[in-house]
Every structure is written in C-alpha cells, then in structure tokens.
Amino acid sequence: MICVSLLSACSGYAPPANVKDLTQAQLVAQMGPPDKQREMATGTRLEFPRGPMGHHTWFVDLGPDGRVIKAAQVLTEENFARITPGLSQQEVRDLLGRASHIQGLGRSRGEVWSYRYENHFCQWFQVEISQELQVRSTGYGEPPECARDRDIIIP
C-alpha cells in the first residue's frame, strides 16, 4: 500500500515546464499513464484528465518521432465556446477529453456531460448529448459540492 502511494506521489499534476522534446516514456514517467492515447494525422495525442474533482485536462501531442510537440490545458472558455449544437459526441471528446461526471437523462433522452474547470464561480460546463450522439445544448451548472456548501447553516 505504501509503494502505491509513493508511486502516485511521483507523478506530476501538469506537464513539466520544459516539456518540449521529451519522449513519451519520459513524459509518462513524470505525469503517470495517460487516460487515453489517440493516433492523429500528425502523431499521437495523450490525454491526462486530473479528476474527477480536478479542474484541468492536459492534451500532450507527440510528433511522428515520439517527442512532445506541445501540451495544452483544454478545459477553457475558448474551447467551451467551440462546443455547439450538432457536434458529435466524439468531437466533444476530441476537444475536451473525458467528462468529470456523466448523468443519464430520463426516458433515454441522452446524457449530460459535466466538466469541472478552473473559474471564479462554483460551476461546471455541461454538454447535453442526444440519443443520436450529438450535442443538443450546452450551459453551466452547479456541481453537487457547491450545493452542499450553500446548504450549511451557521448559527
């Protein structure tokens, strides 16, 4: 049990400052294994969501030579604005990565994907995915931990 704790403590939350030109093995040694690895036209993309309670998801792109080209935190207002009705479920995943929380809608109407992200308010970005696996709507909601905090009564 202690070994597992020590190993997880060794992996970093974010990519190192000098990430460019690291090999995939060097990056994984510093960040831990990625949640997902996808082959892209220009190389490989590694996804590192830092959750479920985390507020960041890092995409790290590797070139054909297996070295890091760039790293970006993708849970941003700019990327949220790119999520519009009609996009496919896969396109959302390609832009934002794995959701922090997924909730099914009644009568099999689809799902709501919720993304925690760093902001000055206690909110998350939400995407409603229809039965046809397309974005129906987007918006902002309140995560459960915020509602609990608000319900505390101080005498």
Query: Residue 14's pLDDT is what?
Result: 81
Query: Residue 7's pLDDT is what?
Result: 41
What CATH number should be reported for the domain whose range is 12-73?
3.30.1450.10
Query: Residue 122's pLDDT is what?
Result: 87
What CATH number should be reported for the domain whose range is 77-150?
3.30.1450.10
Question: Quick one: average pLDDT of 30-35?
Answer: 93
CATH 3.30.1450.10 region(s) of the chain?
Answer: 12-73, 77-150
Between 51-60, 77-86, 117-126, the lowest mean confidence (pLDDT) is in: 51-60
**pLDDT tens figures, 49-74:** 987 678 999 999 999 999 999 999 99
Quick one: three-class SS letters along the chain?
CHHHHHHHHHCCCCCCCCCCCCEHHHHHHHHCCCCEEEEECCEEEEEEEECCCCCEEEEEEECCCCEEEEEEECCCHHHHHCCCCCCEHHHHHHHHCCCCEEEECHHHCEEEEEEECCCCCCCEEEEEEECCCEEEEEEEECCHHHHHHHCCCCC
pTM: 0.82
Question: Quick one: average pLDDT of 103-125?
Answer: 92
